[in-house]
Each structure stands twice: as C-alpha cells, then as structure tokens.
Amino acid sequence: MEEKIKFNKEHFIPNILYASPKVKMPLICMEPGQEIPSHGGHSVGIFYVKEGKGIFTLDNQKIDMEKGTVVIAPEGASRGMKCVERMVVLAMSAG
C-alpha cells in the first residue's frame, strides 16, 4: 500500500484502491488544512488512520483522529474530516 500513498499540495484527491457496486475503498492522503466538507453518507463508512492527525466530524460531533484511530459512520450520518498533520486514512464504504 505504501506505493499508493500520494499527496497533492493544492487539493485532496482520493486514490480509489477498490470499487464495486456495493463497496468502495479510497486511500485518503491529505496535507494540513485540507478537508473533506461534511456531507451525507448513503452507506456505512469505516475510516482507519494509518498516519497523521486530523478532526473527523460525525453529524455534530468532533472526533480527534490520530494513528490507529478507527471511526465508523453509520448509514445516513453526515461525515467530513480536516487534516491537522499530514494524514493517511484508509476508508471503506459499503451498502
């Protein structure tokens, strides 16, 4: 997976590792200050922080993210994240 880690200084671009009609697995590589705005989730989302630090927004709750953190966003919950320290997150949505 290390060869898939790629950062874009201007804006975040997900690296889709796997996609099917029911499952999507992006590798999220973000620089400090980059963010994914809060948005509605049509499926369950699972987010594992491989490295770095950030803040995850789950509905109206703020969750600190750091290496080893796992966040599960239920179907229908709004979700977003902001990078504080260069961050790599493995995500999966299913549903």
Residues 43, 95: Cα–Cα separation, whole Å: 5
Quick one: pLDDT at residue 54? 98
What is the pTM for the complete model shown? 0.92
Domains of the chain: 2-8+22-94 (2.60.120.10)
Residues 27, 58: Cα–Cα separation, whole Å: 19
Asked if residue 57 lies in contact with residue 38, where contact means CB atoms within 8 angstroms, the answer is yes
Per-residue pLDDT for 87 more than 90? yes
Task: Write the pLDDT tens digit of every residue in 4-24.
Answer: 888 988 888 889 999 999 999
